[in-house]
Amino acid sequence: MIRARIRKSFPARAESAAFSLDVDFSTSLGVTVLFGPSGAGKTLTLDIVAGFVRADEGRVMLDEEILFDGATQVHLAPHARHCGYVFQNYALFPHMTMRENLNFAATCAGSRTRKLRLERHRKVNEMIERFRLEDVAGRRPNEVSGGQKQRCSIARALIGEPKVLLLDEPARGLDAPLRAELYAVLRQVRAEFGTPIVLVTHDLEECLELGDEMLVLREGKLVQSGQPVRVLDQPANVDVARLMGIFNILEAQITALDPANKTSRVRVSDFELNGPYFPGKLRGDRIWLCVRPELLTARPRDGKPGSNQVPVQLGRIIDKPGGVRLEFSGGIFVDMPRAEFEPGRHNKEWIVQFPPDALRAL
């Protein structure tokens, strides 16, 4: 488990603006995802934990060990931190075979723990077997497939029995089958090795698929943390909502609040909606109303709209793997299965239904 409080600033340079990272977080067992857009400081955070970059101040702890402490000038070298690191490009040594790559790691780790040669050899063989590298053990990285490279780099990082496995955007640039393979391997690592994993990504699906816990970073700040489904359900602010792929973000005003019945009423430009009770908000507050596109339903217009139904015009139709995303007038997005959409495809006038419980106020 990592507990970290990190501050690190970079002055503005000719090729980059000033940047400062200021985060305070802890990771759990299982998979913790560092999530955020490019330039949020995710990889920098990982590099500071791994010891490649020295923070200006703060403290990084791994289990009971202090890896970095600004006040007492503790800064352990990367190899003394028991952090396995998987690089974005795998960083398998191109002049060594798969087995030699693993051997190198075992020798380095062995000189630390004084493990016997035979023991190292056994360990390398075990890793080759567990990560299904038997057929390619004698080949160089440029002679094997992307999936094999990926497995080898994870195996190499695990050989020294690290206390945590850090992965920097492991799925970046991978096609769908390779991604699926990576997720399977990471689940295997979690199940068989029990090594906690910290993974950097800007991919929401990856985050939801793998993350037990997520930390949302934006512009060097931690903006929200929690279980991915929780964050998805209740984003902390509009920025997080956007990052989480919630496209319906509407300007609104609360016109009524009823704590007894746990209901509310909000006015959005030219229509009013019933919503749930919004704790901490007051009548008359201007809010951002967020609704996930998959929680809305739409149907071709067939009469007068009822309660919480809004008449709209169909704009763009965006095809997605799981169905279609419809963009309506007023910036309202609705996801629906393709089979449901097809019969009404040619209608211009639609009705969108807002389930009251799906509304979130930010």
Partner 1 sequence: MAIDWFPLWLSLRVAALATAAGLILGLWLAYLLANREFRGKELLDAAVTLPLVLPPTVLGYYLLVLLGRASPLGKLYEAVFGGPLVFTWQAAVVAALVHSAPLLVKSARAALESVDPSYEKAARNLGAGEWRIFWRITLPLARRSILAATVLAFARSLGDFGVTIMLAGNIPGRTQTVAVAIYDAVEGGNGTVAAALAVAISAVALVILYLANRLSPKQVAE
Residue 38 or 142 having the CB closest to partner 1? 142
Q: How far is the CB of 179 from partner 1 (least distance, A)?
A: 21
Q: How far is the CB of 109 from partner 1 (least distance, A)?
A: 5
Residue 96 or 256 having the CB closest to partner 1? 96
What whole-number distance in Å separates Cα of residue 256 and Cα of residue 277?
A: 9
Number of residues near partner 1 (by CB under 8 A):
27
Please state the φ and ψ torsions of residue 52, each to the nearest 5 degrees: -80, -30
The interface with partner 1 within residues 36-95 (CB under 8 A) comprises 50, 52, 77-79, 83-85, 87, 89, 91, 93-95
The interface with partner 1 within residues 150-169 (CB under 8 A) comprises 156-157, 159-160
**Which region, left, alpha or beta, applies to residue 319 given φ > 0 means left and ψ of -120 to 50 means alpha?**
beta
Residue 141 or 220 having the CB closest to partner 1? 141
Three-point CA angle 163, 171, 88, nearest 5°: 65
Burial per residue of 267-287, b for 16 or more beta-carbon CB atoms within 10 angstroms, e otherwise: ebeebbbebeebeebeeeeeb
Q: Exactly one of 3, 115, 130, 140 binds partner 1 (CB under 8 A); which one?
A: 140
Report yes or no: 295 and 358 within 8 Å, Cβ to Cβ. yes
Residue 92 or 243 having the CB closest to partner 1? 92
Of 212, 186, 189, 216, whose CA–CA distance to 201 is shortest?
A: 216
Residue 74 or 108 having the CB closest to partner 1? 108
Report yes or no: 102 and 156 within 8 Å, Cβ to Cβ. yes
Q: Is 138 in the site for partner 1 (CB under 8 A)?
A: no
Residue 104 or 183 having the CB closest to partner 1? 104
Stretch that binds partner 1, among 29-37, 57-65, 105-113, 340-348 (CB under 8 A): 105-113
One-letter amino acid of 329: S
Q: Is 108 in the site for partner 1 (CB under 8 A)?
A: yes
Q: How far is the CB of 214 from partner 1 (least distance, A)?
A: 24
Report yes or no: 98 and 148 within 8 Å, Cβ to Cβ. yes
Residue 83 or 334 having the CB closest to partner 1? 83
Residue 164 or 289 having the CB closest to partner 1? 164
Q: Is 139 in the site for partner 1 (CB under 8 A)?
A: no
Q: How far is the CB of 104 from partner 1 (least distance, A)?
A: 7
Q: How far is the CB of 181 from partner 1 (least distance, A)?
A: 20
Q: How far is the CB of 234 from partner 1 (least distance, A)?
A: 37
Spatial neighbors of 361 by CB under 8 A, at least 6 apart, are 252, 254, 266, 275, 278, 281, 287, 288, 289, 290
Report yes or no: 287 and 267 within 8 Å, Cβ to Cβ. no
The CA radius of gyration of the chain, in Å to the nearest whole number, is 25
Q: Exactly one of 9, 111, 269, 313 binds partner 1 (CB under 8 A); which one?
A: 111
Report yes or no: 331 and 339 within 8 Å, Cβ to Cβ. no
**Helix ranges, the chain (H):** 42-50, 98-113, 117-130, 146-158, 176-188, 204-210, 228-233, 238-243, 338-341
- Contact residues for partner 1, defined by CB under 8 A: 50, 52, 77-79, 83-85, 87, 89, 91, 93-95, 104-105, 108-109, 111-112, 140-142, 156-157, 159-160
